[in-house]
Structure 1
């Protein structure tokens, strides 16, 4: 894999000697208690990381106490950039999804520690994960061969096809409408939602479609016009290209503007956050939200909430566009990179690595994600069958998706391979949250997956490329998002302003942006 990593950058002299750190896979991790500083992105489902049951359990198991700094989700990237530029950063950065570009920049400076030596010496669970899924190591390894962060691995079947549209089925039924299969049929359905008072309260308060800044409007609908991954990058016969300068992108924008001009798209779509979208989905008294783009219906409704409205939204299969395009854009990696980073501020890097490595253990992962053994989950009984039809591995005893203070709700390193995800025991004749999402994905999205040769895998760059791509990506990405909103809302006229939009992209050095990606892709293939 790439070049020989050579020796990792020397970490600061440890306040805990290596003799005080116990061998990999054993507990406690250190003989005498230590405290580490962890900056973590806030999780809306976790009340308080400091008093959380899993935090306390991990502390008792490892002898490692955490001094937490919680960063609000909507300010996470800004805060990360600020602390890195100021030099006032903690021992650990967790849950931020630090980009490969930033990993290379700060890894090269020695701010982020290379983890290779720690993996070799202590990585019992990490090495097991690499052995079972070699691609994981490949995707998190820099061109130099160094590894600067640990990932969260979640081979979630329904998450592997994340761009979904959900529609409120009771309204379809009440109005005698069929599930839309084309962009034109979807337009007609939204129009009926707006005009025919499907919630029956005599008010024109229905919102036919809404999204949020975290679930962008293009993520499902644009796939009726061209393959549109969340990154806006794709491969065309081995050539790296972007979606947002293509004629089909323009066609998609014209369609979306039509929806917006007829007030079928909520204006808040371009400014509201996920919580505000959920307030629409969980409106009191009567439902007002007809459809939304999201990974799951739990993004805009409350899983297992009082209204039980989450059960009434069903997935819309990929829509067929005017030219016959009908695409599911998959994300087959099941990996969130940049999840756990150790900085050069740490006095206990070996102990901290052992702390993170422990989270990949199967039982620790289940504790971290779901909660207490025999209360929120348990091991399966011999006769129980999993979602995949094979003997089950574990069973869920409590619903996931509500605010609680027991587990970390998918924050931090964890390892949930496909066999564990689909090895969840299910009761015969019942449809759980996981089985509903599995079935909707299998029946409606799997048949339309784009060919793997069109998918650009996550890439690492050299230090020089990383510095260059970071600036280009922000400049171009911000402009594309701005103009997408302006074209859809009519603030910019797509008929008269499209050519200037393309020229502006060229002036932002889009050609160089693609060249850097192409070079990184070509070197990864070697």
Structure 2
């Protein structure tokens, strides 16, 4: 037991239970040397603890989720099963990074960070400081489901273990065989509008452009007003991540947004200064300049985007599935678009361990053993099915051939709710980022609907095969990545938007490249290459 934890326990004994509860923990007294009070924890089975305890979770929330997690079917039921009462302090994903950083830096954080998208560098930094506790021994003793998963997929342990040897988090993990989940948010186009226009499904960059242009010029919804929006999304990042494969970039998937493996040399390259990247940005700028991108694309949030989709205004978009978030069934997902030089790579493929820091326990948590058991349930078949499907007869039924299906109230809601809206009172996995295990057997979200599976089937022949998991940098490397690296990445993101919206001219491209070089690109790439070589050698 660390001195910090020993002092905390001693103070709790002196000051009483009220102070501990005020720190975001349970109303129980501080744990003894073993972590849990004698007879409180059950090491197997349910309930997890013999007496009720309370925990507070800092929790990321998508626009499609409800505003009171505690009232959903899953968490009300799980509270009864476990004897653990969790309060979810919800933070919208749009402000998650800022709020999370403020909480960690200021010390005002609760027992657990849940669906909080914590990156490897923060896990390492705050793990070393003692804010996040090591989970190695706790997983070994109290997480049989997750331990089994790491044995099945050794890259999980490799991706979670920090250079100091500790594991500080439990992840979101998608079955690598389920490509539709790794794609996540396909590039969708309106099939009905294609038919009206007499156009075939776009297979090239040029055909995609011609489709968007036709949408702008035609009153496809027949209301006498040119209110159709050719393409809309929450920002331009998703579009760029989809299109860059058409210029041969993004060969390593979405786990590394600024670098990929150069297929000619086998070494890492910084993609954001490549001539191909410039040409791709010029294409996106062309879309923006000609009014083919939503004029609100840099500011619109998910709820407003879904509302536009529900009104039938969108020619193309990037969301999990228009069927579930917009109630529209006329969209099809595109495959890999062939670029102007013949490149045809489907680059929008996530790392199976999509969120490394989806679940982390803090040093304020008086019940780490019980908390690990609470989370481990969702890495097993029973818990994962419950998390995604709920209760048989209430939220799902089983067909004669053993398939699980949501009840009609969810899939054909009598009040006209979309599937996501209908599910919000039962579940909290909508919008992603949750810790846990996703397999096709029980996951019946938008990514496993026929339209999404068809989109994945189109993508599969051209999808990135050698996906790089996250790299965990040493302390020295993290210092460089959090200073030089962050400055470069922030500058690139800023200039990316400016090049697209025209506030920066492409005549400034050479200046942009030179600025990145002066900021320390050589050192940045040296660190990245060293981490990559280490990753490959392990």
* Residue in 1 that maps onto 2:123: 103
Quick check: 392-401 or 62-71, which moved more?
A: 392-401
Superposition deviation, residue 99 in structure 1 = 0.1
Deviation readout 1:57-108 (Å, 9 max, x if unpaired): 1111111112332212211110110011111211111101100000000011
Superposition deviation, residue 111 in structure 1 = 0.9
* Residue in 1 that maps onto 2:470: 458
Is 1:65 matched with 2:85? yes
Indicate which of 257, 262, 275 corresponds to 2:285.
257
Is 1:49 matched with 2:63? no
Structure 1-normalised TM-score? Answer: 0.87
* Residue in 1 that maps onto 2:427: 407
Q: Structure 1 CA distance, aligned partners of 2:4 and 2:170? A: 18
* Residue in 2 that maps onto 1:438: 453
Superposition deviation, residue 157 in structure 1 = 2.5
**Using a 3 Å threshold, how does the CA distance of structure 1 residues 96 and 17 change in structure 2: closer, same or farther?**
closer
Matches within 5 A, 1:193-208: 193-208=215-230
Is 1:268 matched with 2:268? no
Identify the structure with the greater helix proportion.
2
* Residue in 1 that maps onto 2:166: 146
Indicate which of 350, 354, 362 corresponds to 2:381.
362
**Using a 3 Å threshold, how does the CA distance of structure 1 residues 314 and 130 change in structure 2: closer, same or farther?**
same
**Using a 3 Å threshold, how does the CA distance of structure 1 residues 225 and 432 change in structure 2: closer, same or farther?**
closer
Is 1:235 matched with 2:261? yes
Q: Structure 2 CA distance, aligned partners of 1:357 and 1:316? A: 36
Deviation readout 1:276-335 (Å, 9 max, x if unpaired): 22122112xxx2211113343358x42xx3xxx2x1011122211110011102335254
**Using a 3 Å threshold, how does the CA distance of structure 1 residues 416 and 11 change in structure 2: closer, same or farther?**
farther
Superposition deviation, residue 39 in structure 1 = 1.1
Quick check: 404-413 or 54-63, which moved more?
A: 404-413
**Using a 3 Å threshold, how does the CA distance of structure 1 residues 212 and 412 change in structure 2: closer, same or farther?**
closer
* Residue in 2 that maps onto 1:92: 112
Q: Structure 2 CA distance, aligned partners of 1:411 and 1:262? A: 35
* Residue in 2 that maps onto 1:387: none
Q: Structure 1 CA distance, aligned partners of 2:298 and 2:42? A: 51
Structure 2-normalised TM-score? Answer: 0.85
Deviation readout 1:501-525 (Å, 9 max, x if unpaired): 1011112222222222211121222
**Using a 3 Å threshold, how does the CA distance of structure 1 residues 298 and 108 change in structure 2: closer, same or farther?**
farther
* Residue in 1 that maps onto 2:529: 518
Matches within 5 A, 1:148-163: 148-155=168-175, 156-162=178-184
Q: Which runs of 5+ in 2 are unaligned?
A: 10-29, 412-418
Q: Structure 2 CA distance, aligned partners of 1:9 and 1:360? A: 32
Superposition deviation, residue 433 in structure 1 = 5.7
Matches within 5 A, 1:30-429: 30-43=49-62, 44-155=64-175, 156-162=178-184, 164-213=186-235, 216-228=238-250, 229-230=253-254, 231-236=257-262, 237-283=265-311, 287-298=312-323, 301-302=325-326, 305=327, 309=328, 311-329=329-347, 330-378=349-397, 380=398, 384=401, 392=402, 394-397=404-407, 398-399=410-411, 400-402=419-421, 404-409=424-429, 412-417=434-439, 420-421=442-443
List structure 1 segments (4+ residues) > 6 angstroms apart after TM superposition.
Answer: 7-10
Match of 2:297, SS state, is helix
Deviation readout 1:29-67 (Å, 9 max, x if unpaired): 222211112111123323411222222211111111123
**Using a 3 Å threshold, how does the CA distance of structure 1 residues 234 and 9 change in structure 2: closer, same or farther?**
farther
Confirm or deny: 8 A CA contact 1:161 1:328 kept in the other structure: no
Match of 1:96, SS state, is strand
Match of 2:278, SS state, is helix
Confirm or deny: 8 A CA contact 2:60 2:115 kept in the other structure: yes
Confirm or deny: 8 A CA contact 1:40 1:96 kept in the other structure: yes
Q: Structure 2 CA distance, aligned partners of 1:278 and 1:346? A: 38
Confirm or deny: 8 A CA contact 1:8 1:117 kept in the other structure: no
Q: Structure 2 CA distance, aligned partners of 1:226 and 1:446? A: 16
Superposition deviation, residue 393 in structure 1 = 6.0
Match of 1:77, SS state, is helix
Q: Structure 1 CA distance, aligned partners of 2:447 and 2:287? A: 34
Confirm or deny: 8 A CA contact 2:196 2:220 kept in the other structure: yes
Q: Structure 2 CA distance, aligned partners of 1:458 and 1:54? A: 31
Confirm or deny: 8 A CA contact 2:194 2:200 kept in the other structure: yes
In the comparison of the two structures, how many residue pairs are matched?
Answer: 490
* Residue in 2 that maps onto 1:479: 491
**Using a 3 Å threshold, how does the CA distance of structure 1 residues 163 and 360 change in structure 2: closer, same or farther?**
closer
Q: Structure 2 CA distance, aligned partners of 1:104 and 1:8? A: 18
Deviation readout 1:417-439 (Å, 9 max, x if unpaired): 35555xx79xxxxx996232112
